[in-house]
Amino acid sequence: MRKWVKLHASSPQGQQEEEDDGALYELISTLGDDAAALPSRQRAAHTLASGLANKTFSGAQIGRQDPLTPLLQLAQVDGSSLTTQLVLSCFTNLATGDETRAALLARDASPLAELLSRALDEGQADPAIRGYALTATFNLCTETDVMGALHQAGALPTVRALADQLALAGSAEARHAAEVMRQLKRCAPKRPSSASRVKEGLQRAASFGRTPRTPRADGY
């Protein structure tokens, strides 16, 4: 059972933070409760996304309570379009936070990349998911760990297809897809230039062509 870290309510601000901590704790508890009904967990995700958008919860509170793990678990338990959209909304708003949130995102980069990759794949046929997936990924473009994990997950071809599909739209989704593709390309391993490959080939050939010394007869 997660322990709720209580703040000292020595001032009105401290009391408000304590109340917000309690509200966040209740949301995270519901999100991670496998026994809770799915609609209750979805409502918790919706409330969390709204609270993050409205800056109701500070980076310090997010760091203490850590909603990322139960969000990812919810997306794994129920892969419906609605749940995926709600979870992606939370990550979209988490990505606009401070260093504390960035550290949590980096820690969960691999499972988060798997979620984003799946959502981007589904987004090719489901415009509703596509918008949430592209927005979340766009907001996470500055998180190098997440982008690296997303590249390793093989998301670049999907993002390229979405960028081509949306190229003529001139919409926010089109701009998001183009920027995500640009960032993913930056994560790709750099290939050696043609000049360096020729030089390497010459070096290898020269090395291979050297004649080994013949052992001296008196060396036996």
What is the residue-averaged pLDDT of the chain?
82
Q: In the chain, pLDDT over 90 holds for what percent of residues?
A: 59
How far is 37 from 2, CA to CA, in rounded Å? 20
DSSP state of 194: H
How far is 123 from 29, CA to CA, in rounded Å? 29
DSSP state of 219: G
Q: What residues contact residue 90 under an 8 Å CB cut-off, 6+ apart?
A: 45, 48, 49, 52, 67, 71
H-helix or E-strand containing 165? helix 156-166
pLDDT tens readout for residues 160-183: 999 999 988 889 999 999 999 999
- Lowest-confidence segment of 9-13, 24-28, 153-157 by average pLDDT: 9-13
How far is 108 from 119, CA to CA, in rounded Å? 17
pLDDT tens readout for residues 88-100: 999 999 987 677 8
**Domain parsing of the chain, residue ranges:** 1-103, 108-188
